[in-house]
Every structure is written in structure tokens, then in C-alpha cells.
Structure 1
Amino acid sequence: MEKLQKSDILQASKVFAMAMFYDDLHKYLLPNENTRLKNLERLYAFKLRIELNNSFKTSSNLEGVCIWEGPDDNHGAITLKEIILGLPLIFTLGIPNLIRMIKYQIWSQKLENLLPVGDIGISMLLLFRLYIKEKDLQLK
């Protein structure tokens, strides 16, 4: 693994977008299949810019990329700086998609504060399924 460089962000965001295109959570957050790939590229370019210090690549060929959060990192907590830097996403991703993302982020942060999610190994897929189940129960 090598440290991701600023010059790698565009290509790395494309790798992330292709990897996450069929992911259940990302399909829920960005339901329009026609725009999902481009929106995922924009979303991950933003995420990689704010997480550059924690971002790695498999090699200079960028076969794979990851964002590694250590135990002392913010684990997805949204900061004021990130909100300001993310304002252009309103125009590119659209308000309904951003609202879904923010609601999910708030819900997952509350759960993580109750349970040390990373420590007990709850997968993102299970976390997403719990979220959808809770939303279904609220609608009834």
C-alpha cells in the first residue's frame, strides 16, 4: 500500500465509484442508475480530498484504494469544515440525495455512539439493513 497523492484523487474516485455502483447503501442513497456513477465519482472525490491523509492505493496503477480510519479518527462524523467544502455537492448530487445521505449519517452516528460499531464488527451492509428496517417501522 502506498499513500494516495492529491494528483491521484480523480482516478481513485473513479475506482471507488465503480466498486460502489451496485452496493445496496449507495443504490439507496443515489437511486438513479443513470447518474449514480458520475455522482459517486463526485462524492468520493470530495471524500478523498477531506480524507487524503487516511487514503491509500495498492500501487501507482490504482488497482484499488481505501480510506483507513484509525481508532482515534472521527469515523464519519460531519464537521463544519466538511459541510462548507461539500456545499457544491448540493448542485451536483441534488438535495433529495443529500438529505438521504445526511439522515443516514446522523442515524449511523447515533448507533455508533451507543455501540462501538467498529469494535464489534458490524458490517456496513448489516448497518444499512438495520437502517432500512427502522425506516420501514416508522412508516407503519
Structure 2
Amino acid sequence: MSRTRKSTSVHMAATAVMALAAFAPAHAADSKAIIRAALEDGVFSGAMTGGLADKFKTITRSSSPVQAKVVLVRRFKDVGCGRLKFTLGQDAVPTREGGSQPFETTFELNLCADGSYPSDGVDLAQFPVPPQPSAKDLK
């Protein structure tokens, strides 16, 4: 094989490995890291750790790892903000019948990388603020 062909083959193999790495599952991460990764890279897929994962395990009564797939649905004008679609799941979640089965839930949220909510993407007129009681009403 000529030197040029060998160089081209090595380059193609390296490109293929890098492309596969981009779609490989991420390592375990807490919810903040997952949100940042999804907002920056467009997707996160891997195990979720930390407080939210522990709460999820408590609710499902399963010690199986919580798997998360978070996809950026839409970017907002606010820098670092977007609509994220979360799919959280676990294997071996106990059932009422005594067995176990996989469990998965999906939901969407508007979030920013710093944990705040974006100013665009929400029509605040749809959510009027209810009248607040005054101090004398609380007596």
C-alpha cells in the first residue's frame, strides 16, 4: 500500500472513530451537568446521578441507575437557553403485582444553563399573577 493510501485510510478511520465518539453515551452526570451538556451539545445521553436521581429512585422504589436522554428542542434568544425534552427511565422498577418492569417518563422544560428560566418562549399573559394577600389579611 502506498504511503498516500495508508495516510488516507488512517485519516478515514480516525474520522469514523471521532464520529462514533460524538454519539457514544456520556458518562454519569448530575442534573446541572446534564442540562449544560444538552444546551451546549444539543443532546445528553447517559446515567444521571445526584439528588434528582436519588429522588427518582425513591419515587420508583428501584435502585437501578436512572438513564437520561435530554435533547435540545429549540434554542431561545437568551444566550444559553432553550427548550429541552427529557426522557428519564429505569430498568427493574417494582410493580404492584410483585414483578418488575422498565419505567420511562418524558417531559419538556424551558431552561437556561445557569438554572434560570428564559425570558422568551413564555407568554406571561397566559399566567396572570393572582391577587396577593396584604399583611392585614393574614392576621
- TM-score, structure 2 normalization: 0.28
Q: Which has the larger radius of gyration?
A: 2
- TM-score, structure 1 normalization: 0.28
Greater percentage in helix: 1
Query: Which one scores higher on RCO, CA 8 angstroms, separation ≥ 6?
Result: 1
Greater percentage in strand: 2
